[in-house]
A and B are shown apart, each in its own frame.
Chain A
Amino acid sequence: MDFELSEELVAVRDLAREFAEKEIAPTAAKDDRERNFRKDLLLKMGELGFFGTVIPEEYGGNGLGFLALALITEEVARAHSALRVAINMQIGPALALLKFGDEEQKKKWIPPLVRGESVGCFAITEPDAGSDVAAIRTTAMRKGDNYLINGTKLWISNAPVADGGLVYAYTDKSQKHRGLSAFYANFDRPGITRRALETLGAHASPIGELTFENFALSAENLLGKEGDGFKVCMWQLNQTRLNCAAGAVGLARAGREAAVNYCNQREQFGQKIGQYQMNQDLIAQMIVHEEAARLLVYRAAWLVRGRGRSVRRRCCLKNTRRLRLLYRVSRRALLPRCQILSDRRGLLEYSKAHHRPGRVGV
């Protein structure tokens, strides 16, 4: 076994690269500056099957696997990092539905997510609950056949634009984390208000607050049983974490490529700045960390397929390292540009489209 990509995977990667270079990259800086959520790109990616790699054909996917997903995400993130967030917002809910939903739920909700028609999200975080998921305060009160959701979710990617998503709320607070439940709902009903938030970067990936006031759901919206929420949540995060890392590799690569190109253009003291060993040192460190990170992602993706049991540890390993690395690599990548580029506009564009989204990923 090795990581030499099969012909099929090479084709997937090439397709993603071509799409990213032709459709995403040309407007990346503009989309970032104008905070454009590109639903049209989401639909095109859906049509190309980008959201279906980890979903079986019967629910609209193509089953190409996690490595295919990682390859696609690297290419997308290389062109515009904000759009790799969009990928996870589709596959996160789709995978949770696939694993924990009943047949009716899967048939109803997965295909529109895979096609990119229904913009997804997952609502876990709250003002006082983040890493400590069990501290969630949102409740799902049973009223007759319905659940009434009340509470506020914060820093939810796609909150301003989502058509639906996963919502985590307590059906029984006294049970601690065993009383947490997971729901999937479309948001086209009363009881939900949205507020957009400004963040450091990834401006083309909208983020915000969701407030639920007597948001009424039925048993059809419940994933698994009451009390399964914590399990669903942890499982779901273990799936999307890998792809977050794959996006980081793409971002690091973009930074490194930009730095190398610039080193080959810019001249100072009579030679290309790439001729200076100081810059060669930075470049070598960038590519080595990028390659190490890529291998960790590929290996984790390979393990997901091979042996499900090991996924979690590999993902965690990869994630801590990769994201830390990403920051290091993209910071390093930025450094030569910062120091070399006297063109302030160029620097701003670079830092907006690449550096800041990267910082969020850490």
Chain B
Amino acid sequence: MAPFFDQDHLALRAHVRAWVQENWDSLNGRVSDVEEEARRLVRLLGQAEILAYVIPKRFGGQRERVQARDICILREELARASALTDAMFAMQALGSYPITLYGTEEQQKRYLPPIGKGVAIAAFALTEPEAGSDVSSLQTRAVRRGKEYYLTGVKRFISNAGIADSYVVFASTEPEKRGKGISAFVVEADDPGLIIREKTQLISPHSIGVIEFEECVVPENSLLGNQGEGLKVALGTLDVLRCTVGAAAVGFAQRALEEAIRYSQDRRQFGQALAEFEGIQFKLADMATELEAARLLVYQAAWTHDSGSEDPKQKSSMAKLFATEAAQRIIDQALQIHGGAGLVVGNIMERLYRDIRALRIYEGTSEIQKLVIARELLKKA
């Protein structure tokens, strides 16, 4: 799989694949307490120096500049083993990249090194009850009084709510300006007025919840970027990480394909292995082909970002849309091949079937990606 990669990417892939293999049982254990498991996984990823790929070298990271290709490779390999491990890795990236992009030297020094070591957990708080795809309608307010900002509002579907040490929070400083009045802040877990309202349970185990700011006081140097630049901070971050969601989908789909191949060779019906039936072979061929196309789109988008040769936005949207939708189809087919066995709670197919679902929604739903892609095309024509 050489296109779009340099030698060191291939080395990273081999390295993380081996690490995943060694830690397979540890990544795949039964989860009784999601938060405890989430904390453990972040520490593990930190110790393995995998998290070092989400922050720049100056702050203890691996590379001068954070690379989309590294994150894609890591997410694909981690997702192949465990959705929660991938999610924890991805959240460290999502919660730190705004600071990497727009943080002051002081903010970067304070937050990035512990996130990269896995001793601090990061979060990204954008979504609200009334603001999802329509980001600029968010209602959380930040009012400046003297040398402090006072935040008020509710954020929901916030990954790592309650276990994070720092939250990048988006709030409106000038509501009348809508999108252009949004600003970004770094809020620390023990800042007064930050309240965890709910731990939300999803179909796939994930540390997520509702947080509320009740006159939450933060010092003025918590502002990330300039006042009114919040949307730029959010979109700049999401533009880079969007294709990595596609990479995670590729990892899930790869696992599903591997499981389907193995199962279809073991299971016998009508006197032969399932894999001997053309009906099953066609499924496997379609799955493998879609997977390959998804992978190429993801790597192309990541490479486009890293090389800076053109605006990666449209390619990233294509990668996320195609890879997540394809992965859902591939996993559905893999479960079909497993028959009833795939429905049993605890079976890998049952798990993947739940794990993949969120990826078509978070960081821009498939529908939003389509709008981005189509509008870009209509504009060019």
Contact = CB atoms under 8 A, between A and B. Distances in A.
A292 B319 CA distance: 9
B296 A296 contact: yes
Dominant secondary structure of chain B at its interface with chain A: helix
Interface stretch (B91-99, B234-242, B284-292): B284-292
Contact of B3 (A2, A279, A289, A317): A2
Interface stretch (A170-178, A213-221, A260-268): A260-268
A321 B296 contact: no
B370 A291 contact: no
Given A1-B2, A302-B3, A284 B293 contact: no
Contact of A292 (B288, B296, B375): B296
A284 B370 contact: yes
Given A277-B371, A292-B297, A320-B289, A287 B377 contact: yes
Interface in A269-301: 274, 277, 279-281, 283-285, 287-289, 291-293, 295-296, 298-299
Interface residues on B, range: 20 to 34
Contacts of A302: 3
Contacts of B296: 292, 295-296, 299
A283 B289 contact: no
Interface string B351-381: 0000000000000000101110111011001
Contact of A284 (B288, B289, B373, B381): B373
A263 B292 contact: no
B303 A321 contact: no
Contact of A295 (B300, B367, B370): B300
B322 interface: yes
A188 B4 CA distance: 50
A40 interface: no
B288 A317 contact: yes
A279 B381 CA distance: 15
A293 B289 CA distance: 10
Contact of A260 (B285, B318, B370, B377): B377
B19 interface: no
Nearest to B380: A260
In this complex, the interface size class of chain A, counting residues with CB under 8 Å from chain B, is 20 to 34
A34 interface: no
A285 B318 CA distance: 9
B374 to A, nearest CB: 4
Contact of A3 (B3, B374, B378): B3
A292 B297 CA distance: 6
A264 B375 CA distance: 11
B4 A1 contact: yes
A288 B373 contact: yes
A284 B3 contact: no
A283 B300 contact: no
Contacts of A324: 286
A295 B3 CA distance: 10
Interface centre among B5, B318, B367 (most CB of A within 10 A): B318
A4 interface: yes
B164 interface: no
A283 B321 CA distance: 13
A320 B370 CA distance: 25
Contacts of B3: 1-3, 298-299, 302
Contact of B289 (A4, A291, A321): A321
Given A280-B374, A284-B370, A299-B296, A2 B307 contact: yes
A292 B322 contact: yes
Contacts of A295: 293, 296-297, 300
Contacts of B367: 277, 281
Contacts of A321: 286, 289-290, 292-293
Contacts of B2: 1, 306
A291 B371 contact: no
Given A2-B3, A292-B322, A260 B373 contact: no
B248 to A, nearest CB: 18
A262 to B, nearest CB: 10
A324 to B, nearest CB: 8
Nearest to B297: A292
A283 B378 contact: yes
A270 B98 CA distance: 41
Nearest to B321: A288
Interface in B247-299: 285-286, 288-290, 292-294, 296-297
A321 B373 CA distance: 22
B318 A288 contact: yes
Given A2-B4, A280-B370, A291 B381 contact: no
Interface string B291-333: 0111011001001000101000001001001100000000000
Contacts of A3: 3-4, 300
Contacts of B292: 296, 299, 317, 321
B371 A280 contact: yes
B235 to A, nearest CB: 19
Nearest to B369: A284
Contacts of A292: 293-294, 296-297, 318, 322
Given A3-B4, A283-B378, A284-B370, 8 more contacts: A2-B303, A4-B309, A257-B381, A263-B378, A291-B297, A291-B318, A321-B293, A324-B286
29 contacts: A1-B5, A2-B3, A2-B303, A2-B307, A4-B307, A257-B381, A274-B374, A277-B371, A280-B371, A280-B378, A281-B367, A283-B373, A284-B371, A284-B374, A284-B377, A287-B318, A287-B373, A288-B318, A288-B322, A291-B318, A292-B296, A292-B297, A292-B318, A293-B293, A299-B292, A317-B288, A320-B285, A320-B286, A320-B289
Interface of A: 1-4, 257, 260-261, 263-264, 274, 277, 279-281, 283-285, 287-289, 291-293, 295-296, 298-299, 302, 306, 317-318, 320-321, 324
